[in-house]
Amino acid sequence: RKEVEQDPGPFNVPEGATVAFNCTYSNSASQSFFWYRQDCRKEPKLLMSVYSSGNEDGRFTAQLNRASQYISLLIRDSKLSDSATYLCVALKTSYDKVIFGPGTSLSVIP
């Protein structure tokens, strides 16, 4: 089983919709979690870290569910510019090798 798994999508949603992605991780000892965004033919960039209590950054909300071993990303009021691939990361320790999930593709349609 892969260390980190994601629904590859694609998710095709209209502008203004709310969309949620899940990412499951296999190592129950994982402590640090992140969401990255990757635009077509570009390098990935950090979108947000995921904290135990959940955190919000504008239209984006990240949640952690340790019992079920998944993290989620909720995007409200989707914009065309949100179209990208979203990658998750789960780390056991600060010194752990950084393994990415396969990514979930989002297309926001006018």
Partner 1 sequence: NAGVTQTPKFQVLKTGQSMTLQCAQDMNHNSMYWYRQDPGMGLRLIYYSASEGTTDKGEVPNGYNVSRLNKREFSLRLESAAPSQTSVYFCATNRGGGQETQYFGPGTRLLVL
Residues of this chain that interact with partner 1 (CB under 8 A) are 6, 8, 32, 34, 36, 42-46, 49, 87, 89, 91, 94-95, 97-103
Q: Which two three-digit tokens encode residue 15?
A: 């502008």
Choice between 19 and 48, CB closer to partner 1 = 48
Choice between 38 and 72, CB closer to partner 1 = 38
Choice between 76 and 92, CB closer to partner 1 = 92
Opening angle at CA 86, ends 82 and 91, nearest 5: 145
Min dist CB 110 to partner 1, Å, is: 25
Min dist CB 6 to partner 1, Å, is: 8
Residues 6+ apart with CB under 8 A from 64: 33, 50, 51, 52, 54, 71
Q: What is the rounded CA–CA span in Å between residue 97 and residue 69?
A: 19
Q: What is the rounded CA–CA span in Å between residue 72 and residue 55?
A: 11
Choice between 6 and 24, CB closer to partner 1 = 6
Min dist CB 15 to partner 1, Å, is: 26
